[in-house]
Amino acid sequence: MAYLFSSESVSEGHPDKVADQISDSILDQFLAYDDKARVAVETLVTTGQVVIAGEVHSDVYIDLQTIARNAIKRIGYTKSEYQFDGDSCGILNAIHEQSDDINRGVDNGTETEQGAGDQGMMFGYATNETESYMPVSLDLAHLIMRTLADIRKEGKTMTYLRPDSKSQVTVEYDDNGTPQRIDTIVVSTQHDEFDTDDERMLAKIKDDVTNILIPRVKAQINSSKVLALFNDDIKYFVNPTGKFVIGGPHGDTGLTGRKIIVDTYGGKGAHGGGAFSGKDSSKVDRSAAYAARHIAKNMVAAGVADEMLVQISYAIGVARPVSICVDTYGKSHVDMTDGEIAKKIADMFDLRPKAIEKNLKLRQPIFTETAAYGHMGRKPEVKTKTFTSRYHETKVVEVELFTWEKLDRVDEIKEKFGLK
């Protein structure tokens, strides 16, 4: 029987994402000047206020206030009428030294045997229903949000847009789990109060979403398979409450790590519960989730299965995973059980935390870019980043972003699994 599946995304101006971006901007600043830094930073944002808390182990000192204010202004909170802006908000710093007990577990043994920073299970997922090996509902929800942000920053059309927004895409699947059509698109966007008549104002926003935003979204889609999902019967819900002037941290308190499903697979696959932003890669919540995605994506791209979920679990202070589990949802193309596939993955991929850090180059300052529009399904790229500090020299570094999205193990997997 056909079924509907939905995924949501949020903009960089959503209060939870503001918090994520501040936390990851702080992490990147530490890593730019100390690639051995251990960082676990949490951020809370609310009306006119930012609270930064957490634990850090590093030899360098950074200016948290400047980093936080720059992140807020980069997002677009630059006007006093938002009741939250980068120049005037208060910033409270409550960061302290990381626990010696945690350090003892992580630093246990030789560097290559660096222990996991915590216990827990992490998941990676991939599906061949899109070119990015991501669920199509989430891929489209992210694309809608990125495109709306581009329109806002260009300032040529939809000039009433404010930074906070959300999207949701519902897709109908057939009995075989193949996407058939888009059923519903929801877009809620914060806006200026540009008309005294609320109904007229809402009508203008609805018209712009369907005639400006959605055509621009479709123009960026290269896959004919995905474009075919658009149809004349899509139900659109635009600002369903009728008005969205009060938003951002003034409308809703934001916290680091409160959009973990948006960050990963939009509700497909599974999630171990650990957030990413603000954590350095010694925390397997982050690094092992990236490694699991890297494995799942390369396995699906190699043709081992049409869809795959990979679970990796750890014990704190122990380098090697406690377990590796694979689910191919009955869509495997190799004459192996899921347990046998998991065993072969364990033989092929070094999943010790230090090996993950090295293989995926996670000691670089690469995390600010992950903190909005998803950590998975992004395009790997090399980028030059400049870091300034009142306490240290200016640093210009070349970094590689989204290394876990590289399809660099496909040929090896095909050989190991006897695939052509």
Sign of CA dihedral 322, 404, 7, 370: positive
Q: How many CA atoms lie within 13 A of 116 on its CB side?
A: 23
Neighbouring C-alpha atoms within 13 Å toward the C-beta of 297: 26
Q: Which residues are annotated as a binding site for ATP?
A: 14, 164-166, 243-244, 252, 258-259, 275, 279
The strand order across the sheet containing 307-314 reads 120-127, 307-314, 323-327
Q: Would you list the DSSP string of 213-270?
A: IHHHHHHT---HHHHTT--TT-EEEESTTS---S-HHHHS-EETTS-HHHHTTTTSS-
Place of tokens 């059509």: 181
Nearest Cα neighbor of 185 from 165, 204, 158, 161 is: 165
From the list 212, 201, 213, the residue with the least C-alpha distance to 239 is: 201
**213 touches 164 (CB < 8 A):** no
Where is the binding site for L-methionine, in residues?
A: 55, 98, 252, 283
* Cα distances (angstroms) measured from residue 18 to each of 144, 255, 279, 298, 371: 18, 8, 16, 31, 9
Going by the annotation, the residues of the binding site for K(+) are 42
Residue 271: half-sphere exposure toward Cβ, Cα within 13 Å:
18
> Which residues participate in the annotated binding site?
14, 16, 42, 55, 98, 164-166, 243-244, 252, 258-259, 275, 279, 283
Tell me the three state secondary structure of residue 397. strand
Phi–psi pair at 249, nearest 5 degrees: -60, -20
AA letter at 288? A
- Residues of each annotated binding site for Mg(2+): 16
Burial class (CB in 10 A: 0-12, 13-18, 19+), 104: exposed
Radius of gyration of the chain (CA): 22
Give the largest Cα separation in the chain, rounded: 68
> Rounded to an integer, what distance in angstroms lies between the CA atom of residue 137 and that of residue 283?
29
Whole-angstrom Cα distance, residue 275 to residue 279?
Answer: 8
**Amino acid identity, position 163:** P
